[in-house]
Amino acid sequence: MAAVDAGVRGLLADSGEARTWVSPRTDLVTVLLGIWFGGGLMIDAWAHSNLAELETFFTPWHAVFYSGFAAVSGWIIWQVYRNMRAGRSGLAAVPNGYLAGLLAIPGFGAFGFADMMWHTFLGIEKTVDILFSPSHLGLVVTMMLIITTPLRSAWTAPGIGDRPRLSRLLPALAGLGLGATLVSLFVSYGNAMNWTANSVVQAFSTVDDIRGGASYLAASMIITNVVLIAPVLFLQRRWQLPFGSVTVLSVVGVLMPGAQTAFRNLPILLTFVAAGLVGDLLNRWLRPSRERRGAYWAFAGLSAFATWSLYIAVASLVAGRLPAVPELWAGAPVVAGLIGLVLGVLFLPNAMPAEAGESGTRRA
């Protein structure tokens, strides 16, 4: 036992070398395995939303979900093991950006066991309570840390610069996009991407039902607006995003609500992909960055306004009529734009010179 304890202490003791970065190809494999992991959750979300009876923890979609966890976890652990074989130990063996994901692996396993016990003894949640289950909240937090590993890896990677190519940034974008889908799943009760075109038009056609209809859709638009725009603003503080970045985030972002609705509201989902393309065009035109505060604020407000203007327009086209209350359909995109502007101000209250931004990046 003493020999085992000494061996464990030897592995945990930091050997003192500076931590290294993995290659972009390694990050790409990490995010591909993360997509397997996230895809399993999307299938599980589809099952909970579309199947009437779920009586057991042991389901095919849980098999996909937990096998994805095993695959991406094994890959992360392998990166550490490779460094240990090279003589590193402790933190020196963990690549930059991979520590939080590594620490989240046993946490996810513990919450997964807790979830199995919860379902075994307390049953399977079938409505909004699924989004508040303590074991599910533990799973989503630790999963978030695992699947966003490529983003943290790229954040301070040498050679990536402030203007990376889309191909270089793709693992980080996909990882952050998957993280945003987890948030959208756990605020499904306020996710405007889950609405159909007819339900959007119907909701904004009356103000009689104060506790439902229009107020419910308006609140959902506000919540979804924050979930959509915050990741983009976060990235723009670090990089001048290449064209296509916002579209990539949008494509990944519609997958979870698409799974939940079995893609029955496809026109609405495609609207958000189109809004991502508009966001890329605005990004190219305005060139927002940490040094260009005015452009950053303008992007935040205009991209949000454009997204929700498209949302109302497409819903109206598909439904064949405009909502009956003009104040609602004309004002909702303006409210979204103002919220986007406020988020821009909160994310970047003061313009930062390039030197200060780079210094802050190195400390991240």
Quickly state the pLDDT bin for 267 (edges 50, 70, 90).
Answer: very high
Residue 121's pLDDT is 57
Tens digit of each residue's pLDDT (9 = 90 or more) over 142-167: 999 999 999 999 998 998 999 999 99
Quickly state the pLDDT bin for 217 (edges 50, 70, 90).
Answer: very high
Residue 273's pLDDT is 97
Write down the architecture of domain 1-158 according to CATH: Up-down Bundle (1.20)
Distance CA 121, CA 142 (A): 23
Tens digit of each residue's pLDDT (9 = 90 or more) over 74-101: 999 999 999 999 888 889 999 999 999 9
Q: Is the pLDDT of residue 8 over 80?
A: no
Each domain of the chain, given as residue ranges in start order, spans 1-158, 165-364
Quickly state the pLDDT bin for 220 (edges 50, 70, 90).
Answer: very high
Q: What percentage of the chain has pLDDT greater than the value 90?
A: 66
Over residues 279-307, the mean pLDDT reads: 96
Residue 123's pLDDT is 60
Quickly state the pLDDT bin for 356 (edges 50, 70, 90).
Answer: very low
Q: Is the pLDDT of residue 246 over 70?
A: yes
Residue 12's pLDDT is 58
Residue 32's pLDDT is 96
Residue 52's pLDDT is 61
Contact present, 296 and 348 (Cβ < 8 Å): yes
Distance CA 328, CA 330 (A): 6
Residue 14's pLDDT is 59
Q: Is the pLDDT of residue 189 over 60?
A: yes
Residue 336's pLDDT is 97
Residue 114's pLDDT is 83
Q: Is the pLDDT of residue 3 over 60?
A: no
Tens digit of each residue's pLDDT (9 = 90 or more) over 281-294: 999 999 999 999 99
Quickly state the pLDDT bin for 1 (edges 50, 70, 90).
Answer: very low
Tens digit of each residue's pLDDT (9 = 90 or more) over 111-133: 888 877 766 555 665 667 677 77
Quickly state the pLDDT bin for 213 (edges 50, 70, 90).
Answer: confident
Looking at every residue in the chain, the average pLDDT score rounds to 87
Tens digit of each residue's pLDDT (9 = 90 or more) over 39-62: 888 887 777 666 666 555 556 767
